Structure 1
Amino acid sequence: MSASVVNVWGDLDPRNRAYPEAPEPDETWELRDGGTAWVYRVPGRSAIERPVILSDGFSSLPSSKNELYFGLEGDGSPDYKFISALHESGHDLVLIGYEDRTRSIIDNASVLTEAIFTAISRQEGSAPLTVGGFSMGGLIARYALANLERQKMDHRTALYVSFDTPHRGAWLPVGIQKLIPFLLGDSRMLGLVSSPAAKQMLRWHTSTVQGEPDVHQDRKDFLSQLDRLGGWPRIPRLIGVANGDGQGTGNGIKPGEVALSAEGDLSGTELYTQPSGRGALVADLAKTGTDPIRIHTDTIPELDGAPGGTLNNFDLVAQLLSALGAPSTAHYPSTCFVPSGSAVDIADFDLSTPEANPFADLGKLPAEQSGLDDFLFARKSGAHTSMTPELGAWIVGQLPS
């Protein structure tokens, strides 16, 4: 499997591996307000001519050129060399990284906006641009382009691309969200889950032990501002891909199973895969010297096994707890993170509307329900933002000539 482009937990993963050193970019643009562009031109060119500008997404650390490059080009056993394919098709790559990947989507959209106009100013010729992003980066690009159009500014973009982007929200298990403040208190992990970007991206959010998870006000405000911009840019063609399948198959994880168990001072702590229905048990939280707490939800469907791009959240949390002295086991290391219907903006996955069903056969839904003009699902659900031959080749085939 190729490396995931977006390592959401950053160095919170105790096993976080060092990527090889990426080739030196042909150009590096230091962007105001906390961003960097790494430019890889078609070999032999002295200037960019047909730029593809791709935004990084959410994580705890500043963007890594090495992580982005090898997530796209492979790091030893590549599924698909996306950068090479771009160059062979005559397109230059501009990777956009951020100093703070937990900032508001709107704040980092201003960084991407500067990168777009820098590319236009440095471009040789007048070929149209392609602009998009991975995971939350697709939301950053969506907002930036729509905002430019609202201001009647020419972004010269012919194609927008989103790669497993949570257009209708992302899923982080409630048990994990509750465990963090209960066991870790004021920690870096709590800061990550409570960051502006996490509040805007997650469909259900909580940063306290008590209380029912719900849509955070920051998400409501972001969606409201996006709506004021028309929801989507209207000038470019809009395409997207999902790392999840579209047939409703899912990843095979059953609801109500023990997903993580801890020992030592945390003995009795267990997190469960999400069941549906009222009073669904999602976590037993325990630690020496405190009363145990049972966590239930009332309105959340069976999302851990749903079709979608997966993230190894339970595995990362188990590794972190073990590193802190509480041996822990992830019985289900990876679960759904971006449901397929969210990644291509065709269906909600909550229970707010009667027809919402994360296990629906999305191929039977009218394509007009999506804000995208065209999209592609993976054959089967796999790692979030993983660059596969089917998805990568399809994107390259859509690029403007």
Structure 2
Amino acid sequence: MAAVTKAIERREGDHALTVGGFSMGGLVSRYALAKMETEGLEHQAQLYFSYDSPHNGAWIPIALQAFAHYIKKLNADFSNQINSDASRELLWRHIAHWEDEPGTSERRLEFLRALEEVGDWPQEPRRVAIANGPADGTGNGVEPGVAAVIGKGASITGTELRTQPEGVDDLVARLRVITVPTREVRTSGLPDIDGAPGGTLYGFGILADALNSMPPLLGFKVENPIREHCFVPAVSAIAAREPATHDDLYTPLSDEELEKTPFHAVKLSSRNDTHALITEELAGWLLEQLP
């Protein structure tokens, strides 16, 4: 809100503003504009845009979340990031401890209630959204239930983090660090979301690179067959569907569905891109929307 006010003060002339953001920035600016309207403050925005913003939730694989919490006593950084206010508000499903059942964080519910209190969306500007995934249901090629990070060093042998499989009671992760016995994390009815259409994140790769960068004598070497996963499903980036089932994620978006989103116009990528990647295809379309 302060940034919008400052832009109005520093603007030369009276040209309308474009206000929006990438990823979480699209949610922050959505709330800010709606709150300004609710409070009777002028934002003078003619266009609101979100660029691969997780309106219906983002995704970090349960295997990665569980591993982060499992190693908290050794290094709390990863766990603290997963349990940050921002992560709790954005993630579609969250766990605060490796043994937890995945669910919607209370922080996310509070955030959704806060949006509802200001009318969910800004009403005055034209609203547009961009997704880094396609509309035709084509996934990113990541298969469900396969090993993504495999412990090879002496301190981590036995650890295996898998991509999210469907179903109930299928293996998601084996966890073993130093002398702790191997623990298991199993599925609880979540969809095979890692391979879904949408903006991707190198989540498995980031973890593997961090572990492999440690001194070899510490024994944390891993193999990393799969580096990325879906982070913002395409259906979430345009607020079309909750990413709750396989069909929600992979069924092609119809013209009728696209017309019923909260946006006046949407643009989906022709392929699965890295989350928030600026491409000629997407940026060119956004430039055409500017007032």
Residues 69 and 78 in structure 2, CA contact (< 8 A), matched pair in contact too: no
CA distance in 2, matches of 1:395, 1:207: 37
Question: Are residue 303 (structure 1) and residue 193 (structure 2) matched?
Answer: yes
Distance 1:211 1:117 in 2: 43
Structure 2 residue aligned with 1:348 = 242
Partner of residue 288, structure 2 = 397
Could you tell me how far apart the structure 2 residues matched to 1:397 and 1:308 are?
23
Alignment partner of 1:201 is 2:95 = no
Deviations 1:20-43 (A, max 9, x none): xxxxxxxxxxxxxxxxxxxxxxxx
Select the residue among 156, 161, 165 that pairs with 2:49.
161
Q: How many residues align?
A: 285
Aligned pair partner of 1:323 in 213, 224, 228: 213
Q: 1:356 Cα shift?
A: 5.6
Over 4 Å off, 4+ runs:
none
Give 2:175's aligned residue: 285
Q: Which has the higher contact order (CA 8 A, sep 6+)?
A: 2
Is 1:335 the equivalent of 2:229?
yes
Q: What residue is the counterpart of 2:260 in the other structure?
A: 369
Q: Distance in 1 between matches of 2:257 and 2:77?
A: 43
1:116 counterpart letter in structure 2: V
Secondary structure of the corresponding residue to residue 158 of structure 1 = strand
Tell me the distance in 2 between the aligned counterparts of 1:361 and 1:222.
29
| Other structure's SS at 1:279 match | strand
Root mean square deviation, CA, Å = 1.3
Offset, 1:368: 4.0
The aligned residue for residue 251 of structure 2 is 360
Runs of 5+ consecutive residues of structure 2 not aligned to the other structure? none
Q: Which amino acid aligns with 2:105?
A: H
Counterpart residue identity of residue 154, structure 1: E
The one-letter amino acid of 1:341's match is: V
Partner of 2:254: helix, strand, or coil? Answer: helix
TM (norm. structure 2) is: 0.95
Output the amino acid matched with 2:132: N
SS in structure 2 at match of 1:209: coil
Give the match's secondary structure for 1:367: helix
Q: Residue 365 of structure 1: CA displacement? A: 4.5
Q: Do the aligned residues in 2 keep the contact of 1:348 with 1:356 (CA within 8 Å)?
A: no
Q: Distance in 2 between matches of 1:281 and 1:313?
A: 19
Residue 257 (structure 1) aligns with: 146
Q: Name structure 1 gaps, 5 residues minimum.
A: 1-112
TM-score, L = length of structure 1: 0.69
**Is the CA contact 1:212–1:297 (under 8 Å) kept in the aligned structure 2?**
no
After the TM superposition, which residues 140-151 of structure 1 pair with which residues of structure 2 at under 5 Å, given as runs? 140-151=28-39
Conserved 8 A contact 1:315-1:329:
no
Correspondence for 1:176? 64
AA aligned opposite 2:232: V
